Amino acid sequence: MNNEYNFIAAPGEFIQEWMEETGINQAELARRLGVSRKHVNQLLTGKAALTPATALALERVTGVPSRIWNRYETGYRDALLREEQRKQAINSYATAKSFPLAHLRKIGVITANARDKAATVSQLLSFLGVASFSAFSASWSESSMAYRRRAASRKAELPTLASWLLLGEKQISDNLPTLNKTEVKALLPQLRKLTCSDIHKALPEARRCLREVGVALCIVPAIKGLGVHGVTRWVNDSPVIQLSTLYKTDDQIWFTLFHELGHVLLHSDTELFISDDDSQAEKEADAFAAQALIPEPYQKSLPRKRDLKLVKEMAEEIGVAPSIILGQAQHQTGDYAWGHSLKQKINWHEFTDFRFQNG
């Protein structure tokens, strides 16, 4: 048995000690307990469980309270079970490696040494909220939460995607107000105005405003190999917008936030919307974000050539950050090699309000 459990003795060892001190053999103990000698032998070797009835009988024979014998038995069986699960954990480590273990260690979710396979698997399963990897697969593919079933269909990336989504859910408060779509729509001009502020102050303010109308916003550090920029799904009947730190500039994060709000306002609450998908819903959300940030009359007037003055003038007239106008103009023309001074570079480590742990 593993050294971690060597100090846990089988109840039979304590019975054996009492027998030696008292000077009786197995046959005599069997007669006093009213059981067979074979059963006594099995108790001494740990092959037979020490039941509550046997504990009461031992109390009468030895004078040691039954609760002590029950405690010995419970501790021993628990140690045996943990040792068996430790072995199973080591055997399932190959499955654990399909999850982003290095990332989860970096942010402190997994604290076990990389060489301790059993502890690594145990901490990973605790983070996933399941007892085994087979339970993980079932809990996502057959979940009552529609977005998990949708995520499970992306089998190749499910371990990483699920890890990233769960990290986001740990940022969500339990007392989120009921979604009010009318108030979400009314909030859009205020959010558009926030784009003109320092991104590091504006984004936490946007989260506060969205929370008041029933929308959760969380930002989660990107996981290597998972090229997802933004996701919208419903958790416990509330819309959750989750953004990645893959973004480097403010125009990208604002456009994606408005894109995800498009899903909240336009689409079903039984789906998982991933911004990198090439679906009709994603195209509709793109169109919503473009028009919410830059109203339709201005869409056709976006700069077709490198004109910073026109970008600034249009931004001021609309009441939106110049980087938003620039980003959309670049997207329409395919010319991204200009105007970088208008964009705010994002330092994700300044967003302490989003609880990045050690990321």
Residue 67: pLDDT over 80: yes
Give the strands of the sheet with 273-274, arranged side by side.
Answer: 216-220, 238-244, 230-235, 273-274
The chain-wide mean pLDDT, for the chain, equals 91
Q: Is residue 308 helix, strand or coil?
A: helix
Residue 6: pLDDT over 50: no
pLDDT in tens, 160-205: 999 999 999 988 877 889 999 999 999 999 999 999 999 999 999 9
What is the share, in percent, of the chain residues with pLDDT greater than 90? Answer: 72
Residue 5: pLDDT over 60: no
110 phi/psi in degrees, rounded to 5:
-110, 120
Amino acid identity for residue 132 in this structure: S
If we measure between CA atoms, which residue out of 58, 51, 110, 118 comes closest to residue 87? 118
- pLDDT computed for residue 327 by the predictor: 93
The arithmetic mean of pLDDT across residues 231-240, rounded, is: 92
Distance between CA atoms of 242 and 260, rounded to whole angstroms? 9
Local confidence band at 88 (pLDDT 50, 70, 90 cut-offs): confident
Q: Does an H or E element contain 109, and which?
A: none
Dihedral class, residue 335 (left if φ above 0, else alpha if ψ from -120 to 50, else beta): beta
pLDDT in tens, 98-114: 999 999 999 999 999 99
Local confidence band at 2 (pLDDT 50, 70, 90 cut-offs): very low
Amino acid identity for residue 260 in this structure: E
Bridging pattern class, strands 238-244 and 216-220: parallel
- pLDDT computed for residue 65 by the predictor: 96
CB neighbour list of residue 227: distance below 8 Å, 6 or more residues apart = 246, 276
- pLDDT computed for residue 296 by the predictor: 87
- pLDDT computed for residue 8 by the predictor: 67
- pLDDT computed for residue 15 by the predictor: 96
Residue 35: pLDDT over 50: yes
Amino acid identity for residue 75 in this structure: G
248 phi/psi in degrees, rounded to 5:
-115, -20
User: What are the beta bridge partners of residue 124?
Assistant: none
